[in-house]
Amino acid sequence: MNIKANYKATVFTCCLGYITQAIMLNFPPLLYLFFQEKMGLSLGQVSVLISANIITELVVDVIVSKLQTKSVKEGF
């Protein structure tokens, strides 16, 4: 198997992951007014939702980073 082809696929996957992450983290704040008006949520409740989203993303990033470091050390 060609190593360069695998590298291109990895770079593409990483870029796609960054784009997905950016959308998931930046889209909910754009919906503040919708969440407040249509769902009857207060600003505090919306802020908790956004904070939970960011904390979840950070936890997932740390876990994936540790798994990736572990797999690199093991030679995968």
Question: pTM of the entire structure?
Answer: 0.56
- For the segment 47-75, the average pLDDT, to the nearest whole number, is 80
Domain boundaries, the chain: 3-74
Report the pLDDT value the prediction gives residue 30, as an integer from 0 to 100.
79
Residues 28-43 pLDDT 10s: 777 777 878 888 888 8
Please give the Cα distance from 73 to 46 (Å, whole number).
Answer: 41
Q: What angle do CA 27, 15, 29 make, to 5 degrees?
A: 10
| Res. 76 pLDDT band, cuts 50 70 90 | low
Residues 3-12 pLDDT 10s: 555 677 778 8
